[in-house]
Structure formats: C-alpha cells, structure tokens
Chains A and B, each alone.
Chain A
Amino acid sequence: MEEVARERSNLAGVRHILLVLSGKGGVGKSTISTELALSLRHSGKKVGILDVDLCGPSIPRMFRVQDNSVHQCDSGWVPVFVDQDKSISLMSIGFLLENPDDAVVWRGPKKNALIKQFVADVAWGDLDFLIVDTPPGTSDEHISTVEALRPYQLLGAILVTTPQAVSVGDVRRELTFCKKMNLRVLGIVENMSGFVCPHCSECTNIFSKGGGEELAKHAGVPFLGCVPLDPQLSQSLEEGRDFIQEFPKSSAFPALAHIAQQILDGTSQQSS
C-alpha cells in the first residue's frame, strides 16, 4: 500500500532527502541550506530546497527570487527555478504570499496542513538532493515534516549551531529530538566560528569557539566543520549571489565545500 503511494508520489524521483535543523534560531540554517545547494550544484547535482519555515521564510530572498510565484501543473505545484538550467528549484511559503510583509499568523494545525501539502503536491521531478530547511525548535513543523517524509528516501539531518553555550544547549535538545524521531544525524556544523578582521587579519571569536565540535564529540556524531563569520558570505546572501561561484578565495568557502563533499561521500558510500 505504502509502496504504491511512493511510486506515484511527487517525491518518487528524489534520490536523497536531508533536513537542516537547529534548536536555535539565527544560527544559519537557511545559509547552510543555500550554500549546500549551491555547492552540490557545483558538483553537477540537481537540487531542490523545501523551506518549511512558515513564519519566517528566508530562502526566496537568499536566491533573489522573492518576487516569483508558484504555478500549477497537472501533477501539482511547480517549484520556482533559480536559473535557466533548472538545476536548483525552490518551494517556500514566501512564494504564496500576496505581500512580502504579510505575517503568517497561524497556529499548529494550519502549519501542519501546509507542510503536508508541500510534501505531497510539489512537482519536483528528478532531483539528486532535496534539502529541507526548517524553523528553529522541536514543535509542529518538525514533527509534521519528519512524519510526512518518513516513507521516502530520508537520508538524515544536518544540525547547525553557533559556538556559544546558549546555542549549543538548544542543539543538544535537537539531538534528542532526532533520537526520539529515529532520524539519522549526518553531522553538526559550527557556524559563525571566528571573525577575521579585514583590516588587520586578527581573528576574534565573537560567539566563542569550539562548542559545536565539543557537542559532536560528546554526542558521538560526525563533526562536519566550522564555517567562519564572513562578511562576503552575508553580503552574497543579502544580494542573492552565488557565493560558491564568486568567492572561492574567501574564508568560508573551503569549509562549505568540505561539508558538501562529506555529504556526497556519504551518499556514494551508501549506494556502493
């Protein structure tokens, strides 16, 4: 029965699904989702991003496609493509709002209903990776997303944190969530890890240092790397530019490329 549903579903052509999670807000979940998609595309992969942050969608802006809207086709909603080659496709509530400043003042049940629709009704076509960007927390959106995706090729979750204890504490709770939901943890990324002053090259750990790595060790999950604070990265995201293409010499680039490589290695191991 489940098998039949899977065959006919819109996710039938998606090879791997991965979730980007964090207990804490503003640590860079959407940034990591965006840069991971760009890096995977760089390696020739077709990637989709599903943004289930319904109250604060950031993905459309980060690709500078916030003015696009979603169209209908026979098999459901057509995602928004960021380029001519259709190598990255996006779905977000941001494309469904009449006015970009409209607040989505919804309680849980309405959010859950839209997430179910996002999982069932988006015509993704063939994708190598579907990255699911989530809001902070361990509540309605997270439970509904994991439940709705369970029948499909759910690879696992990447957890994002910033180095300071206040953030690591929330991500510890997210790890418990993964355990309870039987969700594989692919690894932890430590974002905003140190800032190199562009004037004197002095490195300052604005949000401390090492918390993510320590947590990974403590929890026995892989540590995927530290991404430094890089104004070129925040600037690219503000302007919707392809950081991976344009700033290969920047300080954040090697870290982001390394994370994508580990994800790719993980999947090739799995298939061989």
Chain B
Amino acid sequence: MAELADGPRPQECPGSSSAQAGRAAACQGCPNQGICAAGAAAPDPAEAAALRARLRAVRHAVLVLSGKGGVGKSTFSALLALGLAADQAKQVALLDIDICGPSIPRMMGLDGEQVHQSGSGWSPVYVEENLGVMSVGFLLSSPDDAVIWRGPKKNGLIKQFLRDVDWGEVDYLIIDTPPGTSDEHLSIVQYLGAAHVAGAVIVTTPQEVSLQDVRKEINFCHKVKLPIIGVVENMSGFICPKCKNESQIFPPTTGGAEKMCQNLNVSLLGKVPLDPQIGKSCDKGQSFLSEAPDSPATSSYRNIIQRIQEYCDQRNFQEEKIIYERNKNVVHV
C-alpha cells in the first residue's frame, strides 16, 4: 500500500479504498489525489484475502470502545474475556490495539511475556488453554519503551495483529481499543470488514465530561455502521468500606449513562460500582471476578457479560436462520 502524503485531507474524503478514490469532486486539490486515483492506496487483494482467511475462523468479534480515556475499557475487556473463557468449551481471544498505552499484559498477569513465532504466524500468549492474548506490550523489551508512532505505523501493526497472529478457531475475539475516534478505530473497523462483527460495547463513567466524548463515539459507530451491543457505566458510585454509605465520586450531573442511552436509543447493559479491589486486582494481574466473587461489582460484571453472550447467541441464531431460509428457498426452487 502506498504511503499517503502528510497533509490535510478533503472534508468529504471518499476513503482511499473506495471506488471513488481520487475521482470524487472532493479529491480535487488533495495532495493524495494521484496516489488514490492510481489505486495504489486501495487494499492489496492478496493481503485482503489473507485477512479474510484468518478472520473467517472468528465467530464473534466484540469491540470495546469509549471516546474517553481511563473509564475502564481495558478492565472491562479483560474481565469480559475471562468471564467468557470460564466456559471451557469456548475459545476466547483478547486483542489489545492500544498501541501507545497497552494495559492488557499487566491486567492479565502477563507482564514481561514475549510473543513466539511459529510456522503459522505469531503465537498469542495463553493465560488458559482457551484464552489467548496479543498486545504490543509483548513486543517491547523494557517497561520504559515508548511506542512513538504516527498513524500509518500503528495501522500496519493492527493489520499484522489480525492477519499474522495464529489465533486458531475462535468463538469470541474481544478487542480492547485506545480512547478516541481516529486511526486505530478506523483501521480496526476497516480490517474487520471481513469478519463476523457482533458489535461494540461502549464504556463510560457517569459524569458529563465523559458522556460528551462517549456520544461522539456512538456517532462514530453510526458513521462506520458498527452495531452497538450496549453501554456499560463504570465507576458508578462508591460505597465506603467503613460506613457503607454511598458517594458519587463522578457525579451523574446530566443523568448519567441511563439518560444518555434513553436519548440515543441504545441499551444500557449495566452499572458497575467503584470497588478499590478492582484496581488492585488489575495491578496484580488477577481476575477480580474470582478474587472478589461476592462484590456487588462482580455480580454486575457477570450480568453484563451474560447479556453480551446472549446478544451474540441471538445474532448467531438469526444468521443461521437466514442461511436456513436461503437453503430452503433453494430447495423449493
């Protein structure tokens, strides 16, 4: 793929992979018009085929998104993967595409692990037999190493994570993302075009400063036609361990995720209270779900995980029904 020149892109850019690339009215005057018109920026067919072949083995891809940082995307991704992998019969993959701030290795207790090369690509790092993990963190040699990369390099690595990692047959691929609506997000959605994408889980905290970014993320999902499974409200209230009274540390001054979900017509999957044990477990790389099985936060996480599972099953059922109906028609004709 040709490298695009650094410079502003036209407002109504049709996208470098579109048939209109370099030919639309908006392309006039764009520094990349020549490259796009020649088709050099479009995905290489052989590469696209390799990506498709690898992603065919994924039954449900779930993206964990948020416009805001530090709301608990990685914590939720890690617990979702662990929760789904509790069923031994399911194969789960957890992919961390936060290239500049990978948190997944530590949260999964895999700090310092390295990726191994095998005949069929990079091998993920396995936490359990049925739970494989991949992150840029496994490619760094020291905890001080910074990944100071602009967009194109990040996109290249994300593509490699999807194409070159030997995930095997996977029931659930959970993808943890960085905050925002930029390179990583556009690329993952584009590359996952060939996969069975169940949809996105959006994580937020209750205060408006966070919700205003999350509304942008929801608009992003609509723009790129990514189904939204639902919203998780994290850090929702704190119960003092001493006096058992509740405080709103991040006050829902505009009605929190509940009101936002009503207004935007998306489902609220649940609210998870702040529990100091969550951060501690993440730091130690232990599963909060098994460390604190009786915490209200655990039961809330478990409910949410179950709802996501049901969403995926339902979707599966509908897809099978469509295939069945199609076959039935074929027989009748």
Is A136 on the interface with B (CB-CB < 8 A)?
A: yes
Give the contacts of B89-104 with A (CB-CB under 8 A): 99-101, 103
Is B186 on the interface with A (CB-CB < 8 A)?
A: yes
Instruction: For A156, list chain B residues within 8 Å (CB).
Output: none
Of all chain B residues, the one with the shortest Cβ separation from A177 is B146
A23-B100, A61-B212, A105-B182 as given contacts; A138 in contact with B247, CB under 8 Å: no
* CB pair B151 A103 closer than 8 Å: no
* CB pair B146 A25 closer than 8 Å: no
Q: Pick from A26, A58, A202 the residue with the most CB of B within 10 Å.
A: A26
- Contact flags A230-246 to B (C-beta < 8 A → 1, else 0): 01001101110000000
* CB pair B151 A140 closer than 8 Å: yes
Partner of A139, one of B8, B150, B208, B279: B150
A55-B67, A136-B69 as given contacts; A101 in contact with B8, CB under 8 Å: no
Is B71 on the interface with A (CB-CB < 8 A)?
A: yes
Partner of A204, one of B7, B212, B241: B241
* CB pair B240 A55 closer than 8 Å: no
Instruction: For B240, list chain A residues within 8 Å (CB).
Output: 197, 199-200, 202, 204
A197-B240, A237-B209 as given contacts; A26 in contact with B247, CB under 8 Å: no
CA distance A55 to B216 in the complex (A): 8
* CB pair A108 B150 closer than 8 Å: yes
Binds A, one of B122-130, B249-257, B313-321: B249-257
Is B39 on the interface with A (CB-CB < 8 A)?
A: no
* Majority secondary structure of chain B interface residues (helix, strand, loop or mixed): loop
Instruction: For A110, list chain B residues within 8 Å (CB).
Output: 8-9
Instruction: For B218, list chain A residues within 8 Å (CB).
Output: 101
Partner of B74, one of A114, A166, A204: A166
- Contact flags A85-109 to B (C-beta < 8 A → 1, else 0): 0000000000000001111111111
Partner of B69, one of A25, A101, A103: A25
Instruction: For A44, list chain B residues within 8 Å (CB).
Output: none
> How many of chain A's residues touch chain B, expressed as a range?
35 or more
* CB pair A101 B209 closer than 8 Å: no
Is A195 on the interface with B (CB-CB < 8 A)?
A: yes
* CB pair A108 B151 closer than 8 Å: yes
CB distance from A181 to the nearest CB of B (A): 8
Give the contacts of B238-263 with A (CB-CB under 8 A): 238, 240-243, 245, 247-251, 253
Partner of B279, one of A27, A54, A197, A207: A207
- Contact flags B177-218 to A (C-beta < 8 A → 1, else 0): 011111101100000000000000000010111101101111
Partner of A101, one of B70, B74, B144, B216: B216
Instruction: For B205, list chain A residues within 8 Å (CB).
Output: 26
Q: Pick from B101, B143, B218, B220 the residue with the most CB of A within 10 Å.
A: B101
Give the contacts of A171-214 with B (CB-CB under 8 A): 172-177, 180-181, 195, 197-200, 202, 204-208
Is B225 on the interface with A (CB-CB < 8 A)?
A: no
Partner of B216, one of A103, A198, A235: A103
CA distance A238 to B103 in the complex (A): 28
Of all chain B residues, the one with the shortest Cβ separation from A141 is B182
Instruction: For A39, list chain B residues within 8 Å (CB).
Output: none
The 8 A-B residue pairs with the shortest CB-CB distance, nearest first, are: A25-B69, A26-B70, A108-B151, A55-B180, A137-B100, A200-B243, A176-B146, A113-B8
Beyond A25-B70, A54-B182, 14 additional contacts (C-beta under 8 Å) are: A55-B180, A55-B181, A107-B182, A111-B182, A113-B8, A164-B279, A164-B282, A166-B107, A176-B144, A177-B148, A204-B242, A207-B276, A231-B251, A238-B207
